[in-house]
Every structure is written in structure tokens, then in C-alpha cells.
Amino acid sequence: MNKKAYEAYCRAYQGVMRAAVNVLDWSEPKLIKGSGAVKELPKTVKQLGYNNVLVVTDKGLMGLHLLDSMFEELKNNEIAYIVYDGVQPNPTIDNIEEARALYLGNGCQAIIAFGGGSPMDCAKACGARIARPDKQIPQLRGQLKVLKKIPMLFAVPTTAGTGSETTIAAVVSNPKTHEKNAINDPRLRPKYAVLDPELTVGLPPHITSTTGMDALTHAVEAYIGQSNTPDTEDKAKKAVKMIFENLETAYKDGKNLEARENMLLASYYAGVAFTRAYVGYVHAIAHNLGGMYGIPHGLANAVILPYVLDYFGETAYKRLGELAEVAGLDCAGKSDEEKAKMFISEIRRMNKDMNIPDKFEQIKESDISLLADRALKEGNPLYPVPKIMDKTDCIKIIRELIK
């Protein structure tokens, strides 16, 4: 298939998807927010009739005792709980199966995901396997493969970046093939999300910065894509504005509760936006760098974002120019191209000022072709990006990322 025919195929596929998703349930999670909000969650769990829950988290958060206040309130509300804290930074198929066995073996009725994107992904995929015991994780990869109701899922984010508390996606690593399995289904969307800024106060600066740039990537990729709705456009712009106004403050002053709370809300808005409008090639490449080399997802997105925006060129100038205005940059008298390039430059400036590198040392020349194949398998024909990328384009961008 020649390039023009392939582009036409991708656009036709995206058009069908835009029409098809209108029949899906896009109900957003109910929010419990504000300082100390995590202590309110057990009351909601009890009121909904759940008396036995699985808590999915990681050993780092357990070691920091971030869950202690929630555990205390679970006990006060006479809710039994079992903890799975084996989640790895890029959750694996084994993590999901271990969590599922714990849920089933202890007669749990609901799941609380507590942490960053990894515990969220693990909890969602665990729910998918509980709902679909007949399907292994690789068989659930792709669009609308779950289809059945998963256990009640409550999400408590401890980073302001992934937006997983409102998305329909879960990404699971396969250690044997070094691939990431992206599962996308509205059934995975949490029913409740807890936005408690106190949980993010202790985040190290480099986690604050990279997860914040992850949220920015979500908002930008959603906004410049071709599957927006008025709501996703609104949420993406709100997220961009709030991130530009609050991220560097949260990075420099981690105890600033206002900046922390605003970043949690910005991450949530960005999650709402890309859940309906999709992401793009930044994520496709980032997922595969994570799968191949274990590069944290937020860091990968932060580094890759300006390179992919450069690649889109004039196809994204108008939309990026609009985001430049939303971000509060000095756009007076400037063309769309000038505003767009200023916006991309500002992303590079933010990365530099927050000590985020502009390239990777891990990428091996011998892996580039495979990385490109896998990235395009994820990105095409689904992602409604401004400009369709082929393998030559993808290889060129990956090479630009090598230090």
C-alpha cells in the first residue's frame, strides 16, 4: 500500500471510530476532592455496600505510610481489606495475575487503586481479568475487548500526571517480549476518584516534573488530534492553562498545597480529554521505550513531546498556536507558526529548567527498527494525529532521541 492510500485508510478508520464511540458510556468518575479527602473514601465505600476490598499499590508508597490514614478509616468503617503491593513501575502480566489471585482468594468485592499510573493500570487490568477469566492479558489488548462489568473501582492518585483515575486505558508490560499491552475499554474507567493534594506533597521534584509533563502531553495530544468534542477541547485547554501556571511552582515548592491541588485537577482534566479524543505518537513511542528499556512513562513523554510536535509542522500550527495563547505566552501580532514554535520552545525550556533531559542514553541502534514497528502498530490506524507517520518518519524521530 502506498503512502497516500495508507493515510486514507487510517483516516477512514478514525472516522469510523469517531462515529462508533458516540454510543459508549462516557460518564466521568464521581470526585472526592480537597485536603484530607482520602479519609472520606471509606465512608463512600461503606455506603455503597462494600465490606471487603483489595487495595492495589506499591511497596514505595507502603514504606512512606501514605495509606495509613485510609487503612485506619477502613477499619473504623468495619471494611476488611487485603493489600497487594507488588506493583512494579511498569506493571507486568505477573503483577496482574497476583493481584487477581488475591482478590478472588479473599472474597473481595471492590478494588481501591492507590498510587501513580502503575498501581492504577494494575488495578484496572486486574479488574479486566476478573471480569474476563477466559481471556489472558495479550488477548485483551486493543479496543473494546473487556466488554463485561469489572468490580467497583475506586482510584486514589498520588501523582499529578497520568490521569488514570478517569481514563479507560490500562497498560501492561510483557517481560518476555518487552512489549506493552494497551487495553482500552470504558469498562475500565473508575467510578470514583479521590483528588487529595496532601498525598502529593512528599513527591520528589523529578517525579513532580515528569508526571506533570505527562499530563501536559495528554492535553496537547488530545487537543491537536482530530477526534475532539467541545468538552475535550475545553478540558484540554483548562489543563494546559493550569499546568503552565502551577507545575513549576509545585516543582520548586513541593509543599504548596494550592499548586498541588491545581495540578491534580489539571491531570484529571487532561485525562478526561484524551480518554475521548485519544493521544498520539508521543505515547506510542514512549510506551515502547518503557517496554524495551524500563524508561518511566512520564519522563519518556516529556522528552519526546517537542520532537513529535516539530514533526507535525504546519499541520499542527493552528492548534498549537491556540494553546500558546491559553498558556499565557506573548502571542500579540504573531502568526500561527510563530505561536506554535514559541509553544514548543516553552516546553523545551520547562524541561530544561526542571532538569529533564532532552535525549536518552538507553536507545540502541539495533533496536530502532523494532521500536518503530511497535510504535506504529500502536499508533496506526487508531490515533487521530494531525499528520500520519510512516516507518521512515518514526525511525528518524527515534534517532533524534539518542544521546
Could you read off the pLDDT of 352-365 as tens digits, one per residue? 999 999 999 999 99
Could you read off the pLDDT of 34-72 as tens digits, one per residue? 999 999 999 999 999 999 999 999 999 999 999 999 999
Reported pTM: 0.94
Sheet of strand 142-143: strand arrangement: 142-143, 179-184, 169-174
Q: 392 forms bridges with which residues in the sheet?
A: none
Could you read off the pLDDT of 286-340 as tens digits, one per residue? 999 998 998 999 999 999 999 999 999 999 999 999 999 999 999 999 999 999 9
| pLDDT score of 223 | 98
For domain 25-200, give the fold: Rossmann fold (3.40.50)
Q: 71 forms bridges with which residues in the sheet?
A: none
| pLDDT score of 177 | 87
Parse the chain into domains and list their residue ranges.
25-200, 203-400
3-state SS string over the chain?
CCHHHHHHHHHHHHHHHHHHHHHCCCCCCEEEECCCHHHHHHHHHHHCCCCEEEEECEHHHHHCCCCHHHHHHHHHCCCEEEEECECCCCCEHHHHHHHHHHHHHCCCCEEEEEECHHHHHHHHHHHHHHHCCCCCHHHHCEECCCCCCCCEEEEEECCCCCCHHHCCEEEEEECCCCEEEEEECHHHCCCEEEECHHHHCCCCHHHHHHHHHHHHHHHHHHHHCCCCCHHHHHHHHHHHHHHHHHHHHHHHCCCCHHHHHHHHHHHHHHHHHHHHHCCCHHHHHHHHHHHHHCCCHHHHHHHHHHHHHHHHHHHCHHHHHHHHHHCCCCCCCCCHHHHHHHHHHHHHHHHHHCCCCCCECCCCHHHHHHHHHHHHHHHCCCCCCCCCCCHHHHHHHHHHCEC
Q: Which CATH superfamily is domain 203-400 in?
A: Dehydroquinate synthase-like - alpha domain (1.20.1090.10)
pLDDT of residue 99 exceeding 90, the answer is yes
Q: 52 forms bridges with which residues in the sheet?
A: 80
